[in-house]
């Protein structure tokens, strides 16, 4: 997210209607509307790899992936939020006439410098309140690292996967997603080497 786009309180209905006509995507947090930051090619390649891999595995099945053009609605007791995840998988989708989903099973955010803080903080806290959510993936775009928040019997458990040999388990979908596929064709930025005396 970036700076507030509209300062007055906007109703969810007005936000959804204006978003269908807007050339710029906006996220919505309790009445405030935020313009989204642009992304680099590396971000889009990683998100595209994930969407493609999930789509191939889910072909002909009940669950389906959605890209970053579909919002997710997060309901709180006193307000509602709409975010645009990079990828989400939904097994009980909303009507085709709607522009958002209510029951994602998997949500993926590709981290970048401009979104990392929001994805690891505000969005993490919000997404983990969604009753249908089984897995939240935070995929780094600066090195081969995926943080996995996965629902277990005692709530969400965090694990970190690193390198081409890592595999993301997606038990709610019945398959795994290798990091080698997530980062296929991606040239990561060179890491700076700090010399010590």
Segment 116-139 shows an average pLDDT of 95
Strand order across the beta sheet in which 100-101 lies: 4-6, 32-35, 26-29, 80-83, 71-75, 100-101
List the domain range (segments joined by +) for residue 150: 40-73+83-182
CA dist., res. 22 & res. 6, Å (int):
13
| CA gap 134, 161 in Å, rounded | 17
What pLDDT shows up at residue 139?
Answer: 97
Mean confidence (pLDDT) of the chain: 91
Identify whether 187 is part of a domain: no
Q: Tell whether the model's pLDDT for residue 131 goes beyond 80.
A: yes
CATH number (domain holding residue 56): 3.90.1570.10
Q: Judging by DSSP bridges, how do beta strands 71-75 and 80-83 pair with one another?
A: antiparallel
The Cα 142–Cα 75 span in angstroms is: 32
Is residue 3 a part of any domain in this protein? Answer: no
143 located within any domain: yes
Residue 151 pLDDT level (bands cut at 50, 70, 90): very high
15 close to 6: Cβ distance less than 8 angstroms:
no
Q: Is residue 65 part of a domain?
A: yes
pLDDT, tens digit (0-9, with 9 covering 90-100), for 161-196: 999 899 999 999 999 999 999 999 998 876 554 555
- Domain count for the chain, please give it: 1
- Quickly state the pLDDT bin for 156 (edges 50, 70, 90): very high
Whole-structure pTM value: 0.91
Is residue 30 situated within a structural domain?
no
Instruction: Examine residue 88 and state whether it is found in any structural domain, yes or no.
Output: yes
Q: Who wins on pLDDT, 115 or 89? A: 89
In a domain, 54, yes or no: yes
pLDDT at position 197 over 60: no
**Model pLDDT, residue 3:** 42
Query: What mean pLDDT is predicted for residues 108-133?
Result: 93
The answer, yes or no, to whether residue 94 has pLDDT greater than 80, is yes
Whether 98 is covered by a domain: the verdict is yes
pLDDT of residue 166: 94
Taking only the tens place, the pLDDT of each residue in 19-77 is 999 999 999 999 999 999 878 899 999 999 999 999 999 999 999 999 999 999 999 99
């Amino acid at each position: 997210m970036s700076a507030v786009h509209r300062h007055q309180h906007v109703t969810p209905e007005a936000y959804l209607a204006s978003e269908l006509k807007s050339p710029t995507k906006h996220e919505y947090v309790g009445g405030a509307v935020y313009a989204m930051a642009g992304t680099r090619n590396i971000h889009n390649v990683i998100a595209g790899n994930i969407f493609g891999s999930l789509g191939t595995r889910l072909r002909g099945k009940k669950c389906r992936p959605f890209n970053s053009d579909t919002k997710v609605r997060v309901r709180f007791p006193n307000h509602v939020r709409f975010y645009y995840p990079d990828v989400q998988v939904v097994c009980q989708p909303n009507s085709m006439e709607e522009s958002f989903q209510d029951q994602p099973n998997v949500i993926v955010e590709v981290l970048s410098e401009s979104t990392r803080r929001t994805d690891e903080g505000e969005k993490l806290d919000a997404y983990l309140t969604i009753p249908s959510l089984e897995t939240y993936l935070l995929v780094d775009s600066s090195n081969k690292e995926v943080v996995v928040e996965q629902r277990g019997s005692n709530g969400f458990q965090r694990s970190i996967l690193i390198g081409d040999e890592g595999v993301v388990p997606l038990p709610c979908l019945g398959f795994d997603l290798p990091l080698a596929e997530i980062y296929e064709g991606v040239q990561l930025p060179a890491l700076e080497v700090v010399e010590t005396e």
